[in-house]
Amino acid sequence: MRIHRTLALGAVLLALVASACTPGGGSTSPSASESEAAKPAVTVGSAGFYEAALVAEIYAQALESHGYTVTRKLELGERDVTQASIESGEINLKPEYLGGMATFLGADAASDPEVTFANMQAKLAEKGLVALNYSPGTDADGFVVRQETADQFELATMSDLAAVADQLVWGLAPGCPDNPVCGPGLLSTYGIDISQLEVESLPPCSTQMAEALNNSAIDVAQVCTTQPDIARFNLVLMADDGGLQPAQNLAPVVSKTLLDAAPDDFEATLNAVSALLTTDVLTALGVQVAVNQESLPDVAAQFLADNGM
pLDDT per residue as tens digits for the range 265-296: 999 999 999 999 999 999 999 999 999 999 99
Reported for 205-210, long-range contacts at CB under 8 A and 24+ positions apart, including other chains, are 205/141, 209/171, 210/144, 210/235
Q: Provide CB contacts within 8 A for 260, sequence distance 6+.
A: none
DSSP letters, 167-197, are GSEEEE-TTGGG-TTSHHHHHHHH---GGGS
What pTM value is reported for the model?
0.80
Q: According to the model, what pLDDT value does residue 9 have? A: 39
b/e per residue, 24-40, with b = 16+ CB within 10 A? eeeeeeeeeeeeeeebb
Band (205; pLDDT cuts 50, 70, 90) = confident
- Mode of pairing for the β-strands spanning 129-131 and 250-255: antiparallel
Q: Which helix (H) or strand (E) holds 145?
A: strand 141-145
Of 123, 235, 261, residue with least CA distance to 171: 235
Lowest mean pLDDT among 1-5, 30-34, 192-196, 249-253: 1-5
> What DSSP designation does 166 have?
G
Question: Is residue 175 pLDDT above 50, yes or no?
Answer: yes
Q: Provide CB contacts within 8 A for 176, sequence distance 6+.
A: 182, 183, 194, 204, 222
Q: Give the residue-averaged pLDDT of 81-87.
A: 97
Angle (CA) 247-249-250 rounded to 5° is 145
- Mode of pairing for the β-strands spanning 169-172 and 198-201: parallel
Q: pLDDT digits over 183-197, tens only? A: 999 999 999 999 999
For the chain, domains (ranges, CATH) are 6-19+34-138+246-306 (3.40.190.10), 141-237 (3.40.190.120)
Q: pLDDT digits over 95-140, tens only? A: 999 999 999 999 999 999 999 999 999 999 999 999 999 999 999 9
Q: According to the model, what pLDDT value does residue 36 have? A: 54
CA–CA separation, 297 vs 309, rounded Å? 15
